[in-house]
Chain A
């Protein structure tokens, strides 16, 4: 294995989409569908004077994870912020439909979504928006067919906009410290509602509101990992066998879970208010402590759940 790859293996955050896939799956097991050699590019970017990518910013295919067959999709956050356009979105829709149609003993044991996205690509906003709805529809079908869908988030672009909604439609969510998961980006809220509502330049505030630590403690993500590619791999392997089914009981439990969160913390506007109400230790410092110290904290009651 090359030194370059070993370096990338250390950090999910620093790695490209392709290196994440290579490091996540069993060695040399990845087979890409509609790879860059086929030049499936966005036809819409040229009119905005933007250069396209041969894979339109997403890698999809199959491989093995701990010897189990899986489908995988990885967004390249460094290409247009990993945003969903027509081709980008359709590649993921196609992968999910293929998983649905091959459900059974010979089909994949899971679909892994390596999300790294700012949401809809505005240059093809309508196609991107509809693709997100089609992706959610297909995720529900895959889950209904008994195949877990895992979201892995730890990239530069986080999972914003429709990407945040997609994340919460998956069976399980794994995130590292760098991950931010939200709908409206802080800049968008600041632009629309003013800096007093959300100061997007206050990075510590942004992470307290949208970051993986807040999501993990409240139950918005299921597993918090330290951020190396092997950490994500180990956790994904462990979660495949423990994914909630998509059924009425699961959604009723989610209804209770989210209602309780709203009742308990609905008047909070910053994370430390939640930690204090929940009686967590060191409520002022949770954002600054090491990953090991963070993982030693007891999550808020109900944050470890099957209600998704």
Chain B
């Protein structure tokens, strides 16, 4: 899907979303039942660097400051984090963390947050965009990854063919929507009949989970069998040794 397709499908009754510098998007749109949603985004396959991260965090914090608890929809077609000496020198880790914290603050203050992925998102950019909202929706064309298989092959020194074979039996390392859905990272996958506006409306109407539900979901989908149990065992011992 192109960006225009995505915006039309999510907001068929119209939107005021404009492109900004560094691949960013910002604006507002209407979704049934909500008078207004804030739309932010990084698109065009742009790697997420310090410039885009600070702009996006600024938009999110402005929405929080407005105090209207309007939902925030984060439209994502990025790449990995911007791999540049200059960005690292400036402290890219702080900029990505700041963006994540801003979205977390928005959610904590009652703004439902949804990331809508329709292209790439990888590595640190995946964490600070797609994984930083309460829900992550994968649209046709979504291609999330932590690292691509050739790079994993280089680092682990395992042949690519062996990794491709392994990827068929476990969702634990391979790129793509399917494995990331199985482990609980992707909340919903939307395909088929459009517009997606009604599905977005439904998603925004659901009460947010009291606690991060992704390890529970990963267990239910049989993609991440241990995470929730391990976290619970640690927490139980913390209580026992109080």
Q: Cβ of B54 and Cβ of A259 under 8 Å apart?
A: yes
Q: Which residue on A lies nearest to B146, using beta carbons?
A: A125
Contacts of B151 in A (CB 8 A): 122
Contacts of B100 in A (CB 8 A): 136, 165, 169
Q: Mark B214-234, 1 if CB is under 8 A from A, else 0.
A: 110010000010111111111
Contacts of B92 in A (CB 8 A): 164, 182-184
Q: Cβ of B132 and Cβ of A133 under 8 Å apart?
A: yes
| Known A-B contacts A89-B227, A90-B215, A168-B98; A133 and B83 likewise in contact (beta carbons under 8 Å) | no
Per DSSP, chain A at the interface is helix
Size category of the binding interface on chain B: 35 or more
Number of A-B contacts (CB under 8 A): 271
Size category of the binding interface on chain A: 35 or more
CA–CA, A87 to B180, complex, Å?
17
Tell whether A103 is near chain B: CB-to-CB under 8 Å: no
Q: Cβ of B147 and Cβ of A251 under 8 Å apart?
A: no
Q: Cβ of A90 and Cβ of B226 under 8 Å apart?
A: yes
Q: Cβ of B156 and Cβ of A122 under 8 Å apart?
A: yes
Tell whether B207 is near chain A: CB-to-CB under 8 Å: no
Q: Cβ of B98 and Cβ of A248 under 8 Å apart?
A: no
Tell whether A62 is near chain B: CB-to-CB under 8 Å: yes
Q: Cβ of B93 and Cβ of A126 under 8 Å apart?
A: no
Tell whether A130 is near chain B: CB-to-CB under 8 Å: yes
CA–CA, A215 to B90, complex, Å?
9
Tell me which of A7-15, A40-48, A233-241, A292-300 binds B. Answer: A40-48
Q: Cβ of A255 and Cβ of B235 under 8 Å apart?
A: no
Tell whether B1 is near chain A: CB-to-CB under 8 Å: no
Q: Which residues of A40-93 have CB atoms within 8 Å of chain B's CB atoms?
A: 40, 43-44, 47-48, 60-62, 71, 86-87, 89-91, 93
| Known A-B contacts A34-B234, A48-B156; A198 and B85 likewise in contact (beta carbons under 8 Å) | yes
Binding site for B on A (CB under 8 A): 31, 33-34, 40, 43-44, 47-48, 60-62, 71, 86-87, 89-91, 93-95, 97-99, 101-102, 106, 120, 122-134, 136-138, 140-141, 144, 159, 161-162, 164-169, 181-184, 188-189, 191-193, 197-198, 208-210, 214-215, 218, 220, 246-248, 251-252, 254-255, 258-259, 261-262, 265-266, 268-271, 274
Report 26 cross-chain contacts, Cβ distance below 8 Å, ordered by A residue: A34-B230, A40-B230, A40-B233, A90-B229, A90-B234, A91-B230, A93-B215, A93-B234, A102-B239, A106-B242, A122-B146, A130-B131, A130-B214, A136-B100, A136-B104, A184-B80, A188-B83, A189-B85, A214-B89, A251-B102, A251-B105, A252-B65, A258-B54, A258-B98, A261-B91, A270-B89
